[in-house]
Amino acid sequence: MLVRAFRPPDPNPSMRILLEALQAGRLFELTETSKRGAFEFLGRVLEAIPEIPDDSGVVEAMFAREETGNTAIAPGVACPHARVEGINAEIFCALGWSASGIDYAAEDGNRVHLVVAYWIPDCQRVGFLKEMSGLAKAITASGGIESLRKCETLGEVRHGLLDWVTVALNESSPDARARMLRLSAKPSASDDSAPKS
C-alpha cells in the first residue's frame, strides 16, 4: 500500500518529526492520568492524520510494543511507538503533556510528563533511531524534564520543546530559522483544545 505524501527518508531528521508535529498543532494537554488513557488518546490523534491508513491499529501496536519493554527513555519522558510493515510513508508523532505526570511504570519510578507517540513505517527505522538520538541529546543538553516542568501553560511547554528542537538541530541555516519563526508566530493551543476522551 502506498500512502500519500511519501518522502524518502530524510538523511538528517533529528527531531524534525517532532518539529513538524508542533507545527501541525499535535501537542495536547493530557487529561488522562494512566498510561492506557494516554496511549488511547494519542493513538486516536495519530489515527486522525490523513496520511495514516485507517486500519493501522496504532493503539494496539503501541500496547504490543510496550509489552516487550517500557518506552520511558529518560526521567519524565516516554516515547511509545507503533511500527507498521509494508507501508512506504513518513514517520508521524503526537505529543501529550501532563503537568502532574502519569504513572508510566517506568523503571526509574518517576512519573512521565511528556509522552511523544510515534507511528513508524518499517522503512523508516533508521530515521526513527536518528530522531531518538536527537531527542536524547536535547534532553541531556537542556537539563531534562525539569526545564519543562517549570512551564505554567501549554504554550510555554511548546516553546520549551522548540528549545529542545533547536539543540537537536544544532544548525543556524536560514531554512531552519525560517521554520522556527513560522512556528513561533502561530498561536498556542489552549488547554481546552484537546479532544476529551
pTM given for the model: 0.80
- Percent of the chain residues topping a pLDDT of 70: 79
In a domain, 62, yes or no: yes
* Domains identified in the chain, total number: 1
Distance between CA atoms of residues 57 and 143, nearest Å: 35
Range of the domain at 133: 16-186
CA distance 134 to 8: 19
197: in domain: no
Give the Å distances, CA to CA, from 55 to 2, 47, 51, 58, 71: 14, 9, 12, 8, 23
Question: Residue 166 — very low, low, confident or very high, per pLDDT cuts 50/70/90?
Answer: confident
**Residue 153 maps to a domain:** yes
pLDDT in tens, 58-93: 999 999 999 999 999 999 999 999 998 888 899 999
pLDDT of residue 58: 92
3 lies in some domain: no
- Residue 177 domain-assigned (yes or no): yes
Q: Which tens digit of pLDDT belongs to each residue from 113-147?
A: 999 999 999 899 899 999 998 898 889 888 889 99
Q: Is residue 86 part of a domain?
A: yes
User: In this structure, is residue 7 part of a structural domain?
Assistant: no
CATH number at residue 79: 3.40.930.10
Instruction: Quote the pLDDT of residue 9.
Output: 40
Task: Give the per-residue pLDDT at 5.
Answer: 46
Does some domain include residue 179? yes
**β 112-121/92-102 pair status:** antiparallel
Residue 96 DSSP symbol:
E
